[in-house]
Amino acid sequence: MTAIRLLAVTAVYLAAGRLGLLRQVVIAGAKVTPLWPPTGIALTCLLLLGLGIWPAVALGAYLVVVTIGPAHWSSLGIVAGNTLAPVAAYLMLRRVGFRIELDRLRDGVALVFLGAFAGMLVSSTIGTTVLVLNGSLPADGFWSTWSAWWTGDAMGVLVVTPLLLALRTARPPVDPGPFDWVEPVLLLAGTAAATLIATSTTVNLLFLVFPFLIWAALRFRLIGAAPCVLLISVLAIVAATDRSGPFARHGLVADMVVLQALNACAALTGLLLSAIIAEQRNTYRRIEQACVELAEVVNRLAPGEADTSQWLPPDDGGR
């Protein structure tokens, strides 16, 4: 069973890596991806299956590297960086008591700053250093390549990990009405339309996507916001790598800054707002339960004089 699990993680990592390589940019002579999904895959697998899954991550990283070109000593350095980064992120998240339900603001903040921003410093630093040492990258291109590598890996965590963790607990609505099925379709269609409009014109309209992210987080929390973030990121990356729309007017580095700023803001908006909404609703449920228990105590002390409904807080109308 363990071997099957390791092989499954390796296969998923490799498939995600091949997808990530479909869109690349060349910065200072090095090829980097604006979004690297395997980092999100690896961190999610570590969070769900434990640290013992790291050999599958390493094997997946190695297979991705050898599909690009012949293996040599520098390949092992890149594989080590791509393995150590999610492992470091996992250890830091476990250290601060991260919960995979992402139902607290502190969990969202931890995933952003420890899982994505801090953890991915490992892979970008090791990978870029290896490229400089083997002569594939000039020394003066270190920082531009490092920053692109770091943001690509960090975006993989911010975009992919919340989506996979949300899908783990997704459930269909209970006694759904017609609009319960129509609303998610309208949300995704509106998000796609707004992103396509924003990325197909030279006028800066990238802000159009944020009302849909807020709608998704308020109505569906993470299971609604995470797919919208992924959709926005993919469409924006396609436009940026094709140098179309708002990404056609500036140089490559400037376009990557705009792209990653959009991706980061979208991911942060969806993730943190969803966590705030989930935390508020969990607090409401705890208060409701405490009120019910208090009403039961009063009813035992004074039978027939306690009305349970008086003790309940007003319903906020949330899902």
The predicted model gives 59-65 an average pLDDT of 93
Query: Are the C-beta atoms of 145 and 128 separated by less than 8 Å?
Result: yes
Smallest Cα–Cα separation from 241: which of 227, 225, 226, 260?
260
Q: What is the distance between the alpha carbons of residues 26 and 31, in angstroms, rounded to a whole number?
A: 4
Transcribe 149-164 into DSSP letters: HHHHHHHHHHHHHHHH
Looking at the chain, the whole-number percentage of residues with pLDDT higher than 90 is 49
The predicted model gives 198-209 an average pLDDT of 86
Q: How far is CA 71 from the centre of its chain?
A: 30
Between the CA atoms of 129, 133, 136 and 140, what dihedral angle is there, to the nearest 10 degrees? 70
The predicted model gives 34-45 an average pLDDT of 94
Digit-coded pLDDT (tens) for 228-284: 999 999 999 998 888 888 888 777 778 888 888 999 999 999 999 998 998 888 888
pLDDT of 28 above 70: no
pLDDT of 174 above 90: no
Digit-coded pLDDT (tens) for 93-138: 999 999 998 888 899 999 999 999 999 999 999 999 998 988 888 8
pLDDT of 55 above 80: yes
Q: Which of these ranges, 29-33, 90-94, 116-120, 152-156, has the smallest mean pLDDT?
A: 29-33
pLDDT range class, residue 304, cuts 50, 70, 90: low
Query: Are the C-beta atoms of 165 and 271 separated by less than 8 Å?
Result: no
The predicted model gives 25-36 an average pLDDT of 78
The predicted model gives 286-313 an average pLDDT of 73
Backbone angles phi, psi at 174, to 5 degrees: -85, 130
Q: What is the distance between the alpha carbons of residues 240 and 263, in angstroms, rounded to a whole number?
A: 12
pLDDT range class, residue 305, cuts 50, 70, 90: low
161 or 170, greater pLDDT: 161
The predicted model gives 165-177 an average pLDDT of 78
The predicted model gives 157-171 an average pLDDT of 89
Q: What is the distance between the alpha carbons of residues 87 and 108, in angstroms, rounded to a whole number?
A: 18
- State residue 27's pLDDT score: 73
Looking at the chain, the whole-number percentage of residues with pLDDT higher than 70 is 94
- State residue 183's pLDDT score: 87
- State residue 316's pLDDT score: 55
